[in-house]
Structure 1
Amino acid sequence: MTRLGALREAATPWLDQSQGGGPTPRAVHTADRADLLALDQMAADCTALAELDADLTTHYGAPGLVADLWLAAYSRDPQLNPDPDPLHRANHAITAGLLGTPEHRELRRMTVGDPYAAAMSVLAAGPALRKMLQKLDPDGYRKSAHRARADAQRAAQRVQPTYEAADDAVDGDRDAEVDRPLSTAVQWAIAAARAAEDHAAQALAELAEHTEDGELAVARVRAEARQSARTAEDALLDEQAMMAAWGTSGGQLQHLDPDERMRLAERLRGGKLAQFAELIGRFRQMSGAQRSRRVEHAKSEYVGVTLGDDLGALVPGEIVNLAVPALRAQFAARLAEQQLMVYDQRGEDHQAQGAIIACVDCSYSMTLTDGQEISGEAYAKALALALLDQARAATPVREFSAILFDHTALPPITFRADQPVSLEDKLRLAELFPAGGTDFQQPLDAAVRLLEAEYSATGRQQADIVLITDGDAELEEDWLAEWRQTKQRLGFRCFGVSVGWWAEEALALDKICDDVRRIDTLETSATADLFRAI
C-alpha cells in the first residue's frame, strides 16, 4: 500500500479530526445559545472553575461535569440530555439527582442568570462531587475509559499530518507511488489510531459492565447531590452577608472579574477580617436603630400657639374639650384636619456638619483579649467602620477619616464625602496595625490638621473626633492649653472610648474629651448612644 489513493482510502476514517472530532455531548443542554456563550466566558475568566474541571477530568474521568452543573444552576430552563455520551453517564446521574429537588430550586433562586453565583455554587459543591464520582465508580473504570478515549483522539489526529506529507510529496496524484518512508509513516499512524480506538471501545465496555447506569446511579448519589445544593446555597448566603457587612454593593462587584471577586471573598473570609465583618454587622444594626431615634429639632422652648395635630402639645383648652363627651366628635374632626390648638416649640440638638474622625489605638495591647471573645483592636476598628457608615448616612454626607496610631500616627485614611467609599481603603483600615506604644498627641494633632483644612476650604465647623484606646498617655500642659483653644476655635467635639479592664484608669481622656465612655466588657451595645450623639 504505497499508492496515494490507497493510503487515502485507508486513512479516511481519521482525516479531518484535527479539532478532536467536534463538541462532546453534554449531560445538560439548554435551548438558549446565550447560556453557552456565558459558560464559555466564565470558563475563560474563572481560574478556579477551570481547575476544578481539570481535576475532575484527570482524576475521575468526568469531563464536562463542571459545565453541566453550571448550566443546571444558571440556565432558566436546563434540560437533561436523554441519551448522554457513555462517558457522561455519571454527569447525567449527578445532575439528575439535583434537578427538580427542593434544595436545587432554592439554590437556583440565587444563581439563575448570575454567572458568578452559578460558578460559586459549583465550586462549593466540589468536595461532594468528588465523593459522588468515587461512589459511582470506586474502581476507576471511568478514568481508564476517559484516558483511552483521549489516547484514541490523539492517535487519530496524528494520521492527518502524515497523510498530508505524503500527499504533498506527489502533488496530490492519487495514482502516484509514495516513497516508502512517507507511506510507512502513514501506515503506522493508521495502525496506531485503529489500535487506540479498539482499546477505547474495550475500556468503554468495561465501564458499562462494572458501573451502574440510569435510575440506579441516580438513586445512589441523590442524597449527596441534594446536600451539595444546600452546601452551595449556604456558601452563597455567607458570601453575600460578608460582602454586605463590608458595604460592598452588587454594582461594585459587577466590575470585578470572577478571579478578583473570589480573591476578595477569600481575603474577607480569612483571619481577623472575618471577625470584623461580624462586629461591623452588629454595629451597623445598632447605629441604624440609634439614628432612627434621633430628632432634628428638640422641643424645649414654647414660642407661641399654632394649629396642628400634636397631641403631646395641646393647649389646656383643647384638653378640656377632649374631656367633654359632647365635644369629642368636634375634637376628632379638627384632629383629622390638623386644626387643633397646640404649642409652637423650637430648639435644636447639636447637628454636626463637619467631618467625623476616628483615632484608633493600634498599640500592641489592643490585640489582647483578656479572656473576652473579641480583642480591643477588633472592637475599635469595627466601631470606626460603623462611624464611617454614620458619616455616609448623614444629610448632607460628612467626610470621614481614620487615623491609626501607636507611638506615632499613620497617614490618615480619608473617605471624601463627594466620592464613593473605597473598599480597598476600608480593608487597609482593618488590616494595618503598627503595634507600638501609645501617644495621644500625635493622632489628635493630625486630626486637627484635617479639621483646619476643612474649615479653611468650606468654613465648616461642628466636627466630631472619636478617640478609641485601651491605654493612657502623658499630656503636656502646653499642648493641653493649645488643644482647648483649638477646640473652641474650630467648634468640634471630642469623644473618648476607653476599652479594656483598666478603662477606669485612663484619666488622660477626661482632659481632652467632652464625653468619655469607659467599657470594660467589649459589647457593641455599650457605645449605642454614641451614634445618637454624633
Structure 2
Amino acid sequence: MPKRVPAKKKSRFILPPPAPIPERTCWIESDAYDRAAYAKLREDSPSLREIEESGGALVPRFDSLLLDLFCAVFKHNVVFFPEEMVLPSAALNRVLLAGLHQGDLAQLLREATVLDEGKAGLATVLLGEGALSLLKAEKPLTRRDLLDLWNLQKQEETVQEKISEANNAKDIAKELADQGDSSRSDLSKETKALLEQAANKLASEARAEETRLRQQAKQLRDDLARVQQEAETRFRGEALKVARNLDEAAQEAESWSRALGGGDSKSAPGRQIELGKHLAGNEKLKKLAQMVGRMKDHALALRRKIFERTNEEMFEVGMGSEVSRLLPHELLTLNHPVLRKDFARRFVDNELLLYSLRGIEEKGKGPVVVCLDGSSSMMGDKEIWAKALTLTLLEIARRQRRMFRVLCFSSAETPLQTFDLNPRERYGVDMGTVMKLAEYFPGGGTDFEMPLNAALDCLRQARFKRGDIVFITDGECQVSPEWANNFRADKEAMGFSLFSILIDVGSNSLGPLKEFSDKITTVSRLTSDGVKDLFVKL
C-alpha cells in the first residue's frame, strides 16, 4: 500500500508593506573625501555653521543643500542622482541647483573653485547666504510653501516609521507560520491569526501613508513647477554676484592673512573662508586691507634701512643658521670635503655657531596698548587710516614678540571694547578678532580719561608690564588737572612711554594731549610718512 503523503498546509496571506522610500537628501554624488573635506570646513568655519543653522530653521534639508553646493563647485565631475533616488522634501534644493548649473555660470564659478577647498568653501558660504536671503524674503516661495516642505518631511518620517513597523510585524508573523502549530503549542491558532491580522493592518497603514506621501510630493512638484523659473533666475543672480566677487575676495583674504602674520604662504581653508566672507563686497574692508599692505611695507622697509646702520655689539656665542654672523672656524668647514656635509646638516637644524648681536632691535620690549578713537568724527577715511596704522603696529609687535591690545573708545557713556589681537602661541595673530576690530565703530563723543585709565590697569597686569601706549585720536577732550597729575605720576612710576597721534584735519588743540604724552605726532595727510618716527621708536 503506497505511503500517504501529508497534505500541504495552507499558508495564510500576509500583506507585504510598501517598498522603502529613498534615504538620500543630497542630489549630487559625493565620495568619502568630498564629505570629509566639507566636514573639516564646517568645523573650522563658524560662518558656515551659522548659515546652516539659520537655513535649517526655515526649510528642511538646508544642510544637504550646502553640501550639494560645495560638491557642485569643488568636484571635478558633477553627477546628479535621478529624482526617484532622493527624498521629495529635498525638491527645492534641486530647483536651486538647476539655477546654478544653467548656462556658463557654473563653469565660471568652477574655474576658481574646482579641487580648491578654501575657495570652494568660500563659494559655498556666499551661495548659502544668497539662498538664505531669498528664503527670508519669501521670494519666490511663500511661507505656506515652506510649511508644505516641513509637512512633507514629517510625512516622510511617518512613512519610514510605518514601513519599519510593518516589516517587523511581517517577519514575526511569517516566522510563526513557518514553525507550525506543533512547535509552538503555547500559541493558539487564534493568537497567530490575530498576529497576522495585526501585520496586515500595519502594512495597510504603511501603504496608506505612502500613498499620502506620493500625493503631497506631487502637489509640491506642481507648486515648485509654477515658481521654478523665478526661483532659478533669482538664485542665478545671487550666484553671479558670488562669481564676480569670489576670486578677488579669496586673493585679498590670502594676502591679508600673510600681511598680518597669518602663518604659511597659504592660509588654512577655514580661515580663508572667514576672511573672504568679510571681504566679499565690503569696500571699506578692501580699502583697509590695501592700506595695511602699503603701510606695512613702508614701515618694515624703513625699519630695515635704519636698523641695518645701527651699531651692534657681539655679546655672546649662540646657535642658528644666519650665515652673516658665523664664527670664522665654521666658515672653514665649507672648504673641507667631509665637514661640508656636517655643515649642511647643522645649517638645516639651526646648530651652527654664530655671534649674537645686541642692538636696538633685539632689546627687550614690553607689550603695546593702542587706544583707538572711535568717535563719530573719525568716520570715513580717518577711521580706515587709524585702523591701518593699528594693524601695521600689530605686525611690528608680532615680529618683536610683543603682546598687542587695542582699546576702542568714544564717549564716556559708551563701554570700552577690548581686542587682544595676538594672544596665540608665538604671538600669532587672531584673524577673527582682527575682523571684529576692523568692523567695529561705536560713534559718539570723545573721552580721554576712561581709555587711558583702562590702559594703566592693563600695564599693571604681570603679562603687560614694561609696555607702551599709543593714543590715536582726531579730537579734543579736556582732562581734569587732578587726573593729569595722577596719570603723570603713575607713568613715571611704571616707566612706560605714551605716543600720541593726532589726526589734524582741522584746527585741533594739542593742549590736552600735552598733559599726558611723551611725544605727539600731528598727521595732516593720511599717509604713512607722517608716522614714520613711531614705526622706528616703538
TM-score between both structures, scaled by the size of structure 2: 0.58
- Given that 1:149 and 1:200 are in contact with CA atoms closer than 8 Å, whether structure 2 keeps it comes out as yes
Name the structure 2 match of 1:311.
Answer: none
Q: Distance in 2 between matches of 1:112 and 1:400?
A: 37
State whether structure 2 residue 368 is matched by structure 1 residue 357: yes
Q: Does the residue aligned with 2:428 lie in a helix, a strand or coil? A: coil
Q: Deviations over 1:159-184 (max 9, x none)?
A: 1344456568x586366735365444
Deviations 1:475-529 (A, max 9, x none): 6798799799889xx7x865321247786323253466564223578x4658453
For residues 29 and 532 of structure 1, what CA distance do their matches in structure 2 show?
A: 54
| 1:177 equivalent in alignment to 2:206 | no
- Cα deviation for residue 48 of structure 1 reads 3.7
Which residue of structure 2 lines up, in the alignment, with residue 497 of structure 1?
A: 501
1:421 Cα offset (Å): 3.0
Kindly report which structure 2 residues correspond to 1:44-443, keeping only aligned pairs within 5 A, or say none. Answer: 46=49, 48-49=51-52, 52=55, 55-57=58-60, 65-81=65-81, 85=85, 87=88, 91-92=93-94, 94-99=96-101, 101-108=103-110, 109-110=112-113, 112-114=115-117, 116-117=121-122, 119-127=124-132, 130=135, 134=141, 151-163=158-170, 166=173, 170=176, 173=179, 177-179=189-191, 182-203=195-216, 223-233=233-243, 241=252, 247=260, 249=262, 254=268, 279=288, 282-293=291-302, 295-296=305-306, 353=363, 354-355=365-366, 357-360=368-371, 367-369=375-377, 372-373=379-380, 383-393=389-399, 397=401, 400=404, 402=406, 415=422, 418-423=426-431, 437-439=447-449
Give the distance between the partners of 1:250 and 1:280, measured in 2 at CA: 17
**Corresponding residue pairs, total:** 445
> What amino acid is aligned across from residue 419 of structure 1 in structure 2?
Y
- What letter is aligned with 1:98? L
Q: Return the offset for 1:72.
A: 0.9
Aligned-partner Cα distance in 2 for 1:438–1:389: 26
Q: Secondary structure of the equivalent of 1:504?
A: coil
Alignment of 1:412-491 (within 5 A): 415=422, 418-423=426-431, 437-439=447-449, 465-469=469-473, 470=475, 471-473=477-479
The Cα offsets for residues 62-94 of structure 1, whole Å up to 9 and x where unpaired, read as 995444333212322212346765847765554
Instruction: Point out the more displaced range, 289-298 or 152-161.
Output: 289-298
Structure 1: runs of 5 or more not aligned? 301-348, 456-462
- Tell me if structure 1 keeps the 8 A contact 2:28–2:81: yes
Q: Once the 2 structures are TM-superposed, how far is the Cα of residue 225 of structure 1 from its aligned partner? A: 4.5
Which string of whole-angstrom CA distances, capped at 9 and with x for unpartnered residues, describes residues 180-234 of structure 1? 6544432322222222333444555666778759xx97x7766444323233446
2 CA distance for matches of 1:163 and 1:42? 44
Partner of 1:506: 510
Task: State how far apart, in whole Å, the 2-side matches of 1:506 and 1:165 are.
Answer: 92
Q: Would the aligned equivalents of 2:398 and 2:422 in 1 still touch at CA under 8 Å?
A: no
Question: Using the alignment, how far apart are the partners of 1:139 and 1:428 within structure 2?
Answer: 34
For the residue of structure 1 that corresponds to 2:522, the secondary structure is strand
- Contact kept, 8 Å, 2:59 with 2:150, in 1: the verdict is no
User: 1:233-279 deviations in whole A, cap 9, x for unaligned?
Assistant: 46756588579758484879859799xx87x999x79xxx9968864
Residues 188 and 235 (structure 1 numbering): CA distance in 2 closer, same or farther, change over 3 Å?
Answer: farther
One-letter code of the match for 2:55? L
Partner of 2:34: 35
Q: Distance in 1 between matches of 2:148 and 2:512?
A: 75
CA RMSD of aligned residues (A): 6.0
Counterpart in 1 of 2:24?
Answer: 24
Task: Say if 1:356 and 1:387, in contact at 8 Å, map to a contact too.
Answer: no
Is the contact made by 1:409 and 1:442 (CA closer than 8 Å) also made in structure 2?
no
Match of 1:516 in 2: 520
Give the drift of 1:126: 1.2
In the alignment, what sits opposite 2:349?
none
**Which letter does structure 2 place at the counterpart of 1:467?**
F
Amino acid at match of 1:468: I
Contact 1:494 1:512 (C-alpha < 8 Å) held by counterparts: yes
Q: Distance in 2 between matches of 1:446 and 1:467?
A: 15
Q: Give the Cα separation in 1 of the matches to 2:417 and 2:145.
A: 58
The residue that corresponds to 1:333 in the other structure is none
Give structure 2 stretches of 5+ with no counterpart: 1-8, 182-187, 311-358
| Residue-by-residue CA offset, 1:417-456 (whole Å, 9 max, x unaligned) | 943234576578787999995349857866887999977x
The 8 Å contact of residues 70 and 122 in structure 1, kept in 2 or not, is answered as no
Query: Structure 1 residues 23 and 174 mapped into 2: Cα distance closer, same or farther (>3 Å)?
Result: farther
What secondary structure does 2:209 align onto?
helix
* Higher mean C-alpha displacement, 158-167 vs 476-485: 476-485
- Percent of matched pairs sharing the same residue: 15
Secondary structure of residue in 2 paired with 1:505: coil
CA separation in 1, counterparts of 2:458 and 2:128?
46
Distance 1:116 1:166, change over 3 A: same
The Cα of 1:123 is off from its aligned counterpart by: 1.4
